[in-house]
């Protein structure tokens, strides 16, 4: 029995960007666990517990999803749509994190009920600040009902989460073609 990890699901095909995100999150001790997946198809497998993610212990329900739009195989909008059409998964906040500033992408993202749409900043300091704010906002300030998803996992309660999780482990999980690799660094 350990305190349930506050998992962030990161779907990002660009490894460099993924590294930047993971390092920024770790820097500000935002999450104690980040699962990084590189394409839309794998992300859906994870969320819907298919294939190698069939085992629930392998695929804890994320507290929030950071989703890139331009992804191989299944693009981000498709992932978003399927999540938001799902009776349970739709409660998970989905934050679109993309390079695209196209109106069409924003409109469609919100049409599919994205919770937030964020364009990757070019400047690094802004990028770092964004990651910090993101963590605090979604993991601390944002309130949700006490559902299974709301608790962030099935089984153990995530605690009343009265305060932002300050001591979240700085760990990230990187998954690629079904293989997870630890990319955390401290």
SS3 73: coil
Q: Which is nearer to another protein, 90 or 124 (CB)?
A: 124
**Residue (15 or 156) nearer to another protein, CB:** 15
- Tell me if 61 sits within 8 A of 153, measured CB to CB: yes
Nearest in space to 19 (alpha carbons), one of 39, 29, 34, 40: 34
Q: What is the smallest separation between the CB atom of 109 and another protein, expressed in angstroms?
A: 14
d(CA 159, CA 165): 10
Residues 112 and 180: their CA atoms lie apart, in Å, by 29
Residues recorded for the chain: 186
CB 83, min distance to another protein, A: 18
For another protein, the binding residues (CB under 8 A) are 13-14, 16-17, 19-20, 23, 38-39, 70-74, 98-100, 102, 104, 120-125, 127-128, 176-177
**Which of residues 4 and 22 has its CB atom nearest to another protein in the complex?**
22
Distances in whole angstroms, Cα of residue 17 to Cα of each of 13, 21, 55, 157 = 8, 6, 28, 32
For the bound state, the minimum distance from the C-beta of residue 42 to another protein, rounded and expressed in Å, comes to 10
Residue 164 Cβ, how far from another protein at the closest point, in Å? Answer: 23
Of 56 and 121, CB closest to another protein:
121
């Amino acid at each position: 029995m350990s305190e349930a990890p506050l998992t962030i699901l990161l779907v990002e095909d660009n490894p460099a960007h993924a590294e930047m995100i993971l390092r920024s999150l770790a820097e500000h001790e935002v999450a104690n666990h980040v699962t990084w997946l590189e394409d839309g198809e794998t992300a859906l497998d994870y969320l819907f517990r298919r294939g190698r993610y069939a085992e629930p212990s392998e695929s804890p329900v994320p507290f929030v999803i950071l989703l890139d739009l331009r992804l191989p195989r299944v693009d981000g909008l498709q992932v978003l749509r399927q999540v938001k059409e799902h009776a349970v998964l739709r409660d998970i906040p989905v934050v679109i994190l993309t390079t695209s500033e196209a109106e069409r992408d924003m409109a469609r993202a919100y049409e599919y009920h994205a919770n937030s749409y964020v364009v990757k900043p070019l400047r690094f300091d802004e990028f770092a600040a964004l990651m910090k704010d993101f963590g605090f906002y979604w993991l601390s300030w944002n309130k949700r009902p006490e559902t299974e998803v709301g608790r962030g996992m099935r089984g153990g309660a995530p605690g009343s989460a009265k305060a932002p999780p300050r001591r979240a482990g700085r760990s990230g999980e990187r998954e690629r073609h079904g293989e997870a690799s630890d990319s955390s660094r401290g």
